[in-house]
Chain A
């Protein structure tokens, strides 16, 4: 079984400014790992999407709620958990479908980016209780590739 090498956990207010903070935290933990710069960029996009979703959809824009971010460096992978205690997702499969025709300026591509840029995407949600998104990037196999997708 893979060994847990490092774990960083934090909770922050559900404000837009903290989306950048979450990227910085993940980048700091991931920096010493043997990742390509392009992989690090991709992880930052996935985290940005998950935290934005928690703020916009989970908490419906309320600024005084808490978003949880846990970053785990395992021997063979990097796992990032983003958790909110918001409204939850009614239909996860439907929410994960790219929705190019969504109203306004929202693209509905958050989950599509998370799925494309990470090796594993897990979403757990309960109506009225919240959502947890778990993003996983495998460390060994991926670093041998020059690029993915």
Chain B
């Protein structure tokens, strides 16, 4: 698992690659929280386009950031979920409390934007 940050338009983009499980979750969470603290941003978009696997440990980090930012009036969204990631986001209930878009929808939107 690898990740990097991008800040644009008041949003912290967390671009993550690979498999998200408990082995990297503490580091991932701390890095995101540090970046939020440093930047003062209140909105996160988790870009999971290149994430091939996620389990409840990874979802827990997303939920934790959601709770933290909600208290500050911020928002969290997840973009680019593949089939497995999207299914687990739906099943977990996260898709009910935050915007979650599957990879195909994002692609459709992009195509729609061009046309």
Contact = CB atoms under 8 A, between A and B. Distances in A.
A38 B92 contact: no
B60 interface: yes
| Chain A interface helix/strand/loop/mixed | helix
Given A49-B55, A109-B92, A104 B64 contact: yes
A4 interface: no
A107 B23 contact: no
Interface residues of B, number: 23
A105 B22 contact: no
Contacts of B57: 52
Interface residues on A, range: 20 to 34
Contact of A116 (B23, B64, B91): B91
B70 to A, nearest CB: 14
A75 B61 CA distance: 39
Given A16-B21, A20-B23, A113 B60 contact: no
Interface of A: 16-17, 19-20, 23, 38, 41-42, 44-45, 48-49, 52, 55-56, 100, 104-110, 112-113, 116, 149
